[in-house]
Amino acid sequence: MPLPQPSYYTFFNAITVLLYLTPTLQTQLLAPISKDDSTQLYTLSLYLKTPLQPTQLHLDLGSSLTWLLCDSTYTSTSYHHIPCNSSLCTSFHSSACSNCIHPPAPNCANDTCALFPENPVTRNTVLDTALIDSLALPSSKDSTQGPGPGPLVLISDFLFSCSPAPLLQGLATNAAGLAALGRSNHSLQAQISTALSSPRSFALCLPGSSSNPGAAFFASTGPYFSSSKTDLSNSLIYTPLIINPVGDTVITDNAQPSDEYFINLTSIRINGKALPINASILIVDQNGFGGTKISSASPYTLLETSVYKLFVEQFVNESSAFNLTVTEAVEPFGVCYPAKDLTETRVGPAVPTVDLVMHSEDVFWRVFGGNSMVRIEKEGVDVWCLGFVDGGTRRRTPVVIGGHQLEDNLLQFDLESNRFGFTSSLLLQATTCATLNSLNSKH
């Protein structure tokens, strides 16, 4: 079944001649991000193969390796395999070598490098063939060049792994594979930066709605222009990225640190009042336990049970100042309020603010109601629920900041400077992530 083609592909399909931009140090690439209503997860849209074909891949911040379904529907004139004894294969720390008795195909070749693509939601993994093929993304224009995308940039040697269809289980609907955005040298953004000789930096703006895509920016530290021609990079607040010394994948090389993004969260405040959290659990230890990570694999922020109980108790106490009374909860949430009791503001329902305090007391990520609360309307129920979930006891990572808390916030992962930038809700600036996606703009 062919993948549906969202409206932002229509523009390109109308172009009779595709223009390929020569990569330069100033080239910034742009890709739409869509939200999937059924899973509350996200897809990244790009072009793959020859001729170029629009492709949706599940977006994952922690994965090391992009992978793609390579069944009989995979058609391309430019793919090639990687020999087992090549230095490129060795760089994956994989000793697996694939052979095949069937006719040659993208996922079938002799003496070819084999890798371990992994599903970050189900934690399943398989052994499959490594492949190289063409990738293309549109370049973004600066604020003086008018609306619409710039020319496509072609990267002819994009490396990924094949995968079978069952590995797609649990990922965003209509995804044909996974776009890995982790710290790995072989992740999507790392390969783009290497090909363009550009900064190892990318930015994401996850959409809060399935109807209007957000955007990902690659190979650039900014600027990031909204439709009002405001450079939102000027609003970024920075905190260091923390290296977790131990990876947490199904197939882990013990000598390799984690490719996930950890930040130095030191405390959580609700309405300005700090939770009495055991500070030691917010520090990543030598075995990889503890700390806080940014994750797109969970729709909502997960808190280790002891942290969650403190969080809920204080949030409910502070909610009394807003004349809010808890009603029956709706799973997976533990605290809900009748929707009729909440007042709407430009940053969502009026509820206590949540501050994620970083390396300094004056460096904090403020979470307003639009990101802390989730509206549930079904079967006669109309409530706002606290969008933080009990992650259970003995969690390897006690705080996992999930997708809902990231939406309509501009996030920058600057691996050149080893820092994480965040804006808090763009609704404060009367804009959303959809305004950053110039692929929705027409000439």
Cα 58 to Cα 42: distance, rounded to the nearest angstrom: 6
Helices (H), 60-153: 87-90
Cα 100 to Cα 13: distance, rounded to the nearest angstrom: 37
| Burial readout 113-148 (b: 16 or more C-beta within 10 A, e: otherwise) | bbbbbbbbbeeebbebbbbbbbbbbbbbbeeeeeee
**Residue ranges of the chain with pLDDT lower than 50?**
1-25, 143-144, 146-147, 441-443
Instruction: Give the tokens for residue 320.
Output: 């009394």
Cα 117 to Cα 184: distance, rounded to the nearest angstrom: 13
In degrees to the nearest 10, what's the CA dihedral of 98, 58, 65, 422?
180
One-letter amino acid of 133: D
Total-model pTM: 0.91
The residues pairing with 205 across neighbouring beta strands, listed in sequence order, are: 215, 410
Residues whose CB falls within 8 Å of the CB of residue 238, separated by 6 or more in sequence, listed in order:
363, 414, 419, 420, 421
Binning the chain into helix, strand and coil, the percentages to the nearest 5 are 15, 35, 50
Specify the pLDDT at position 8.
40
Specify the pLDDT at position 228.
75
Place of tokens 């520090």: 283
Cβ atoms 155, 192 nearer than 8 A: yes
3-state secondary structure of 75: coil
Closest C-alpha among 104, 193, 100 to residue 155: 193
Specify the pLDDT at position 34.
97
Fill in the DSSP letter of residue 249.
S
- CA dist 320 → 53, 165, 272, 351 (Å): 53, 49, 15, 10
Instruction: Give the tokens for residue 80.
Output: 């090639």
- Say if residue 183 is exposed, middle or buried (CB neighbours under 10 Å; 0-12, 13-18, 19+): buried
Residues whose CB falls within 8 Å of the CB of residue 321, separated by 6 or more in sequence, listed in order:
271, 352
Instruction: Give the tokens for residue 159.
Output: 């490396």
Specify the pLDDT at position 142.
54
Specify the pLDDT at position 255.
66
